[in-house]
Structures are given as C-alpha cells and as structure tokens.
Amino acid sequence: MLGAPGAGKGTQADRVAHTRGVPRVSTGDILRDAVLGDTDLGRRARAVMDAGRLVDDDTMIGIVRDRLAQADARAGFVLDGFPRTVAQADALDHLVDGQSPLVVVNIEVPEDTLVRRLTARRICGRCGTTARPADVKCTRCGGALVQRRDDDLDVVRERLRVYGKATQPIVDFYRNRATFRSVDGDQSPESVAADISAAVASVVGGRG
C-alpha cells in the first residue's frame, strides 16, 4: 500500500487485511511500539521520526524481514509504510521472491488535502491509536487524544518533502508492473475501499 503521509494507508490496509484474513504489517506501528516501550530501536527511531525524516533502510528492511518470517504472514500480508525507498522496494522483491504476486496499490491524494488531514489528525496519548474525526477519546483504551509529534505543520511539510524526494520514486519503480494499480484517495473512505478492493481483485481474484 503506497501513498503519502495522510493518504489513508493505515485505514485502507486494515480493511484489506480484514477482508483477506491476513495480517496488516505496519512498520509505523512497530516503530511506535518500540518508542512507547523505550527500546534501543525506539530511542533511535524517535529522534528521526520527530524530525519528519525516514528511519534508515537497513533498520526497516530488518524489521520487515523478521515480521514476514512469522507464521501468520505465510498465507499473505498487507504492508503499510513499507517500502519507502527504492532500496527497500528492491529488498522486498527478494523477500517475496517465489511467493504470490506482489500487488502494489498507490493511493493518490492532492498535497493540500494531505496537509489538512495531517494537521487535524489526533492519536491516543496513551496507546498511540489513530482517532477517527468524530472521536473525543480513544476507542481502544479510553485515553486522551493528542496531536502526533510529527503532525505539527512544519514537520508535516518536511514529511511531504521527504516523501516526494525519497518515496515518490517507488511509484516509478513499480508503475510498469502488471500488478500495479493507482486509486483516487481524495474521496470517501468507503469509495476508496471499494476502488482498492476492485484493484486487488483484478490481480489476485476473489474479494479485494
């Protein structure tokens, strides 16, 4: 699942994973859990994430390699937040070599919409769960909602700049593959989900 920060990758990845009965592998969630747990990885990642930069390729590839080796990912998985660089995309090809087709869905959203979404986004200050717009407290643990450190306006613009420089080339990396699909992310979540479902089904069949 590709798309700039704020494109809705997490929400849509959850939907696809649930429908397909496979795990959603979110590198962002893995890193945030490490930050909350104050692990060595978490401490190193926090400084990078708070500045709006990307965690280095070797760290991210190692995280994904370990996660995809777990039993629940053998029948398939939905990747959210990886790959974010061409080096990571190249490594992913090797990780899934010989398995089912790698379906690449790119969610396209105008930059002004991304900025508006990100600066308005809130998460739970206790467990890190992303809140829906209508939520007044965390639906998972009841915690108070706060702005993410990396959703400050200046950091948001830096994140989008980094995305354009480092991550957008991944679209070019995948664009000519028969398994690549782009969908319009500037519509209701339900409409985006329907488009993604159709896109996935057009490659692997069944429900999206």
Please give the positions annotated as active site.
9, 84, 121, 148, 159
- Cα(186)–Cα(113) distance, integer angstroms: 8
148 sits in the region (left: phi over 0; alpha: psi -120 to 50; else beta) called beta
β strands within the chain, DSSP E: 24-26, 78-80, 104-108, 123-124, 145-146, 180-184
Q: Is 143 helix (H, G, I), strand (E, B) or coil?
A: coil
- Cα(76)–Cα(149) distance, integer angstroms: 32
Q: Is 102 helix (H, G, I), strand (E, B) or coil?
A: coil
Contacts of 201 (CB under 8 A, 6+ apart): 207, 208
- Residue where the block lists tokens 């039993």: 71
Sign of CA dihedral 102, 65, 37, 85: negative
